[in-house]
Structure 1
Amino acid sequence: MTRIVMISTGDEVLQGDIVDTNAAWLSQQLNENGLQMSWRLTVADELSDLSRAFSEASQYADWIIVNGGLGPTSDDLSAEAAANALGEPLKEFTSWIDVLLERYQSRGRVMPESNRKQALLPVSAVLIDNPVGSACGFVIELNGARLLFTPGVPSEFKLMVKEQILPRILDAVEVTPPAMYRWLTFGLSESRLNDFLGKIELLEGMTLGYRSAMPSIEVKLKVVQGIEQQTVEHVISQIVDALGDNLFCHHNKGFAAEIQSLMLSREASLALAESCTGGMLASELVALAGSSAYFQRGYVTYSNEAKQQDINVPAQILEQYGAVSEQVAIAMAEGARAKAGTDYALSITGIAGPDGGTEEKPVGTVGFALATPDRTYSQLLRLPNRGRGLVRSVAAAMAMDMLRRYLIGKPVFGEYEFIKRVSSA
């Protein structure tokens, strides 16, 4: 078994000022390539602690990926700690100085003198190129282990891992990556998903897993090489059948990616009218390149005045039913569709909290509407009140689920484990 260790460095990571997303991402990349991380360590910006961590990990691991501490400031100590662990001095790698000078000159800038520190590496180090940042990576060998040093900036780290570090490890280790199949679900808990899927018989070499990232839960099937594809397809068919209408998409690219695919395939257009989500749904949709081909316009109508002025919601409907109601959701969707001239429009209006709820309409009460060329669908729901952020994110997902269901010919109003439907029309 190949033992892989990750050492994350930095006071800000250890103290929780920065969430270590690099570690989670690296674990996923290794897993998808048939490898596993054995240890994960986080070490403060202390020279002796870093040197000790490198030395002790090298007694156990085959590969050690060190993340962070390669910057130009005084608290960036990874290179010096590596030299101490090796018992050798630092050396200025002039080849990296030349790279940095050329990059600064090409931008019409003068390189700060402090950047020279980033070229001070252990004498025995071998450089790893960083095409997008000033901190080069490097490799050393210690006690038979190979330590690969990487910058902490996520974009630089991920590029270096994909293009240089993973290929190095995979070239040295005989491993066949498993096949991975992924589905995103909406409206069911992990325990309910496990009840549905736990009855499926898996062959040896098949592993079913779950990853919660509210408001979605990812279901993934890992299959080792050598199992007949016909057998795999039979298991996949059982999984898809068990997930039913709560299966949002056959990938893990996100709900917005599925909506974009469905809308583009129909050459249809969409407008939004958002109140409690405050543009969250629009932001999710436009985060994807190409969304302008179907998403035409979004209205954030937070106040009653905005609802009246921007999308022509009648004052009498607001007065009679209140802003959080099916009737207002319908008027918002139909007003947005008419004003934008789109095929479809979605609306969201609700109480995200923590204040503003009543006995009749508690926090988490949200109205939705989908206006189509044929009719308008609406529903008033009570979403789980687990904080303002979650109410808003679940509301955005719910609106997308209504549109998804309509586009694929499913009932627009789904059945959800943790959501109560107050009314629908």
Structure 2
Amino acid sequence: MQVIAEIFSQGEEIVSGQTVDTNAAWLSQKLVQMGFVVKRHSAVGDNLTDLKKLLQDVSLRADFCICTGGLGPTIDDLTAQAVAEAFTLPLQLDTVALEQISRYFSCRKRDMVDINRKQAFFPQGSQRIDNEWGTAPGFSLQYNQCWFVFVPGVPYEMKNMFTATIARQLSQRFVLQPEQLITLRSVGIGESDLQQKLNTLILPEGVQLSFRAAIDDVQTKLIFPRDAEQPLVRATVNQVAESIGDYIFAIEGLDDSQGGLVEVISQLMRQQQLTLSVQETASQGLIAAKCIAQPWLISSVFNLSLQQQTEKLAIADYLNAAVSIAENRQQQDGTQLVLVQLYEGNTEQFQQKDQSIKLFTVLLTPSGVIHKQRSIAGSNTRKQNQAAIYALDLLRRYLQNKTR
């Protein structure tokens, strides 16, 4: 039996586009993982009539609704009032909530102004949800067939309240049977090529296949029915993985979480007790930024003059130049691995969106040199990010091949 959920965001800044509603996306992911079927995302501005109408409608069609925003102390924060009027439940002072709000200010050596008392008034019969991360407590109540939860719109506060309290309450109130989502994360291959590789694969009945192109990878998603047996799940995932090949760097949802490309590399670098130096050109420091605080990254240097010195090289000489640079860096830093990238072309070509550049990436290892050559195109930012990702993926492939 499906358990229907809705997400409701309140605030003029949401409907006007001044604020991107990241809360709804985050909550959707959490609720779907728990086993809810999320039917609607709704957003309403600071209008009491609209808020009341939506609350009444939701109470008749959803089993659960979580509302973010509108719990502040100012005149445009209308959530509690809207709930009270929509469900004919008078507002009542919660003295514990008032004490919590007062303590929040006193701990910060600030005076609580009188308008903050508004945040301690909840509709009659509702249950307070403590907020240890801000001034506005949340509250919950049942009306008609729907259990409502109201939390602040500040993402930091909302996420902590959901994780600390609301998720547990949901598990207690509802019988949930989550579908199983498996995500195969890959680099160096596009959605259309992934689809082509899987065209002849016959998936078991009820298994859903989809793709998502993210900034740093492309994700192949498999959703298995709630009652799917694990041997079937594993066999299907293995078939898909074999069809895609070594473009895959991680599989999420099957065993332990593996994380993004850098997380996978970091685990392998630590296991193999290796260190790395990087010489960046096209990525312009982005490799270092993606690997921030990683103890195995000993140095990462972006040197524009180095790229300018190599601009007049013949294509056949780029590889030799990159190997020579890698050997010099290894002597300076004493690392086991050195990653070097150069690109054919000049800065002006790099900056032109309609111009592609040829990227040369070299990885110097204890057992020799591994290199990759590919063309990248698009805006400056896209070229920079692709250069960083392709360099890191070359490192990832070397590390994973060592463990096989």
TM-score relative to the length of structure 2:
0.86
Choose which of 366, 373, 382 in structure 1 pairs with 2:375: 382
SS of the residue aligned with 2:61? Answer: coil
Equivalent position of 1:69 in the other structure:
70
Q: Tell me the amino acid that sits aligned with residue 142 of structure 1.
A: Y
Per the alignment, in what secondary structure is the counterpart of residue 4 of structure 1? strand
2:398 aligned with 1:397, yes or no?
A: no
How many pairs align? 394
What's 1:285 paired with?
A: 291
For the residue of structure 1 that corresponds to 2:246, the secondary structure is helix
Query: Which residue matches 1:295?
Result: 297
State the match for 1:273 in structure 2: 279
> Could you say which residue in structure 1 is the equivalent of 2:332?
339
1:263 is matched with 269
1:20 to 2:12 alignment: no
Alignment-mate amino acid for residue 391 of structure 2? A
Shift in CA distance, 389/72, structure 1 to aligned 2, threshold 3 Å: farther
Q: Which amino acid aligns with 2:69?
A: G
Cross-structure match for 1:362:
355
Distance 1:300 1:173 in 2: 54
RMSD value, Cα? 3.0
Does the 8 Å CA contact 2:311/2:344 hold for their aligned counterparts?
no
Distance 2:84 2:25 in 1: 28
After TM superposition, give the deviation of residue 321 of structure 1 in Å. Answer: 6.3
Deviation at 1:18, TM superposition (A): 2.3
- Secondary structure, in 3 states, of the residue corresponding to 1:26? helix
Aligned pair 1:408/2:400, yes or no? yes
Preserved contact between residue 59 and residue 146 of structure 2 (Cα < 8 Å): yes
Letter in 2 for 1:83: A
Structure 2: segments with no counterpart, 5+ residues: 253-257
1:32 CA displacement: 1.7
Note the 1:288-327 alignment, pairs <5 A.
291-292=294-295, 294-301=296-303, 303-304=304-305, 307=306, 317=310, 320=313, 326=319
Q: Deviations over 1:163-207 (max 9, x none)?
A: 322332332222222333222011222232223224333333433
CA contact (8 A) 1:351 1:363 kept: no
Change (3 A) 1:107 1:405: same
CA contact (8 A) 1:317 1:327 kept: no
Task: Determine what percentage of the aligned residue pairs are the same residue.
Answer: 30
- How far is 1:408 from its partner? 2.3
2:214 paired residue number = 213
User: Is 250-259 or 114-123 further displaced after alignment?
Assistant: 114-123
Cα 1:230/1:18, change in 2 over 3 Å: same
Aligned with 1:39: secondary structure? strand
Provide structure 1 residue ranges, at least 5 long, that are not aligned to the other structure.
Answer: 308-312, 411-425
- CA–CA distance in structure 1, aligned partners of residues 210 and 83 of structure 2: 38
Distance apart, 1:401 and its partner CA: 0.8
SS, match of residue 131 in structure 1? coil
Give me the whole-angstrom Cα distance separating, in 2, the residues matched to 1:146 and 1:242: 44
- Contact 2:282–2:383 (Cα < 8 Å) also in 1: no
**In the TM superposition, what are the counterparts of 1:22-171 in structure 2 within 5 Å?**
22-171=23-172
Give the letter for the 1:179 counterpart. Answer: Q
Tell me the residue number matched to 1:417: none
Displacement, 1:127?
Answer: 0.7
Deviation by residue 1:226-269 (Cα, 9 ceiling, x = unmatched): 44433332212211111101112223621111111111110101
The verdict on how the C-alpha distance between 1:352 and 1:233 changes in structure 2, with shifts beyond 3 A counting, is farther
Cα shift at 1:212? 1.9
Q: Tell me, what secondary structure is at the counterpart of 1:370?
A: strand
Residue pair 2:206, 2:224 contacting (<8 A) in 1 also = yes
The Cα shift of 1:225 comes to 4.5
Q: Deviations for 1:68-95, whole angstroms, at most 9, x for unmatched residues?
A: 1222333222222222212344333221
In 2, Cα distance between equivalents of 1:123 and 1:376:
71
Query: SS at 1:28's partner residue?
Result: helix
Contact 1:330 1:369 in 2 (8 A): yes
Distance 1:354 1:117 in 2: 58
Letter in 1 for 2:56: S
Q: 1:275 to 1:70 in 2, by over 3 A?
A: farther
Aligned partner of residue 204 in structure 1, secondary structure: coil
Distance 1:154 1:349, change over 3 A: farther
